[in-house]
Amino acid sequence: MKYFGLVWRNAWRKKIRTSLTILSVFVAFLLFALLSAFGHAFKYGVEAADAERLIIIDKISLINLLPIAYQNRIKATEGVHSVTHSTWFGGYYQEPRNQFPQFPVDPHEYFAMYPEFKMPEEQFEAWVKNRTGAVVGRELADSFGWEVGDRIPIQATIWTKADGGRTWEFDIEGIFASDDPRGSSALFLFQYDYFDEARAFGQGLVGWYILRVERGADPVQVQNAIDTQFENSRNQTETSTEAAFAQSFAKQFGNIALIVTLILGAVFFTLLLVSGNTMSQSVRERISELAVLKTLGFGDRTVLGIVLSESILIMLIGGLLGIGVGWFVTRGIAVAAGAFLPGVYFSPTAILASIALMVGAGVAAGIFPALQAMRLSIIDALARA
Amino acid sequence: MTDILARLEGVSRTYQKGKERVEVLHNLDLQIPQGDFIAIMGPSGSGKTTLLNLIGGLDRPTAGTINVGGAELTSMSNSKVSHWRSTHIGFIFQFYNLLPVLTAQKNVELPLLLTSFNAKERAERAAIALDIVGLADRARHYPRELSGGEEQRVAIARAIVSDPSLLLCDEPTGDLDRETADEILRLMQILNREHGKTIIMVTHDAQAAEFANRTLHCDKGTLEAREAA
């Protein structure tokens, strides 16, 4: 700590140069925070997946629907504990940009399948009794200011009503929350029976099935048993774990992890060049001063430490500012867009990783100039001064 | 009998300049008593600065031994020599070599960073050193805000702040006008006479050498003594 004053003063020797370097570090780590938070959104479904839940979709495409008649056959399969279904409704609230997941479901089956969703018993009962009732996740209710008792019109983009209308109106009977911090409750759930009766087409069809395997049963065997069962049916099935399903769903948007890695790789490579150049210039400019320090008795390692600390300090200033602003921005995005893109989260793990990255980048950018300073010959350097 | 502070025996220093070997110092013997003030004069390239560097442990001889204050420099590791230098030697350069990013006070405190003194103790000692050189009121000024003479006074304060026994001065007045140079030399005399510092000063300036107790002439790698007038 006693060298901090010296390190600090040296770091600000050229204020404009240091400020620009810090700005580039700031931008790099702001980007890191944002991409990390968005990356989390794309993989959070995988993290929150339940190992005992399997998803069954049409083998050809998720868009193809499956007959409701499959449910009993699936339930009768060995190793299956329970099964329910869901369907993509794909509507919006007021404006097309207000899109969020809306699913027609069987209330009892669905909430039994997702025990992490909690809501007051009386609200659940009220929903079951009201065919046009709906329940919404807390995140969704908060983002639109909905409360129990509100009547919410949802504009259909796929499912027109039998009377030709596109507006489906639902009464909010309850608000549920997820007690799994990794998961999202930004869902709008309503009764399948009402949906099936009122839609203009597709009666007796569902989007996908969700099943829970019996405790101790082998999920792979259950997967194979189900897919084999429907091998010769009109709609062949593809069964996968919830995690694999979430992963393949996320991949529809491209390989997010690879894109994020490539962008950050390019950004940090450039950052190392910029900050490495700054440190090299800084050391070159004060060769004689470093020689004076050595003359005064500063050892080789102390000089190495001083130069390296300077490089790390610059990274930490820019980096901490970057992730600080990034944290506020991602919090803002999570609140404003949590319903449409749940899981935007700059996690503590990512914060720790970014701090480690700052120190690592500081060492990488400063190590060669620092070694140059350490190996400096006092005689040669003073003679050159 | 006067105590000997520095003893050089059979010291040679040879440099490789391209394919040529240049012997700067040749089989030199020298004894410097405690409390002495020696001026070393001689033409450029005669080995004056090399001699100073060897005594200060900045360079190592090709042959011979150097003992300063009981420390056998030639057998010490680089890190030990660095540490020894921080407590036993004060350096004063021709171009002051102050760190431009630090105030006079912080420049003077630099050698104390290598000690166990805390910040308050460092500040107190630096203030005393600045007071000795007559710059107590310039402590918060940066080198760019000081005159050449003031910068050299700060450099002297930095050299004495650790209370070293030996001051090595390489052309300390080479960049100053006559009047300022004389002020600096008088200050060095005070440090020698009143504070007991042993001083070895390399200079081209015969008038500067007159402030020393004796003058050694360095030429072609050997030393010749001439008593001051």
* DSSP secondary structure letters along A283-317: HHHTHHHHHHHHHHT--HHHHHHHHHHHHHHHHHH
Cβ contact B114–A293 (<8 Å): no
Half-sphere exposure of A30 (CA within 13 A, CB side): 13
Q: How far is B58 from chain A (nearest CA, A)?
A: 7
| pLDDT for the residue numbered B229 | 42
| pLDDT for the residue numbered B1 | 47
CA A306 to chain CA centroid, nearest Å:
39
Chain B residues whose C-beta sits inside 8 Å of any chain A C-beta: 53, 56, 58-59, 78-79, 82-87, 91, 93, 95, 97, 99-102, 106, 110-111, 113-114, 119, 158
Q: Tens digit of pLDDT for each residue in B174-207?
A: 888 899 999 999 999 999 999 999 999 999 899 9
- Out of B82, B97, B106, closest to residue A5 by CB: B106
- Across-strand partners of A199? A161
A220 phi-psi bin (left φ>0, alpha ψ -120 to 50, beta other): alpha
The residues, ordered by sequence, that sit 6+ positions from A12 with a Cβ below 8 Å of its Cβ are: A18, B101
Q: How far is B113 from chain A (nearest CA, A)?
A: 7
What ipTM goes with this model? 0.90
Please report, in angstroms and rounded to a whole number, the separation of the first and last CA atoms in chain B: 24
Cβ contact B158–A296 (<8 Å): yes
Cβ contact B95–A385 (<8 Å): yes
The stretches in chain A having pLDDT less than 50 are none
Burial label for B34, CB within 10 Å (0-12, 13-18, 19+), is middle
Structure tokens at A18: 């240091």
Extract the runs of DSSP E, i.e. beta strands, from A156-286: 167-178, 188-191, 205-206, 208-213, 237-241
Residue B169: what are its φ and ψ, rounded to 5°?
Answer: -120, 120
Hey, what amino acid is at A192?
Answer: Y
* DSSP secondary structure letters along B35-53: T-EEEEE--TTSSHHHHHH
The residues, ordered by sequence, that sit 6+ positions from A338 with a Cβ below 8 Å of its Cβ are: A139, A143, A184, A186, A344
The residues, ordered by sequence, that sit 6+ positions from B102 with a Cβ below 8 Å of its Cβ are: A6, A9, B110, B142
| pLDDT for the residue numbered A182 | 55
Mutate to test the interface with B, among A292, A375, A377, A379 (most CBs of B within 10 A): A292
Report chain B residues whose CB lies below 8 A from the CB of A13. 100-101
| pLDDT for the residue numbered B16 | 84
Which secondary-structure segment (H or E) carries A375? none
| pLDDT for the residue numbered A260 | 79
| pLDDT for the residue numbered A346 | 86
Where do the domains of chain B lie? 35-57+78-227
CA–CA dist A173, A175 (Å, integer): 7
Q: What is the SS3 assignment for A148?
A: coil
Which secondary-structure segment (H or E) carries A373? helix A348-374
Q: Give CATH for domain B35-57+78-227.
A: 3.40.50.300
For chain B, 229 residues long, give each residue's pLDDT as a single digit of tens: 468 899 999 999 998 888 888 888 988 999 999 999 999 998 888 888 999 999 999 999 999 999 999 899 989 998 899 999 999 999 998 888 999 999 999 999 999 999 999 999 999 999 999 999 999 999 999 999 999 999 999 999 999 999 999 999 999 988 888 999 999 999 999 999 999 999 999 998 999 999 999 999 988 777 776 554 4
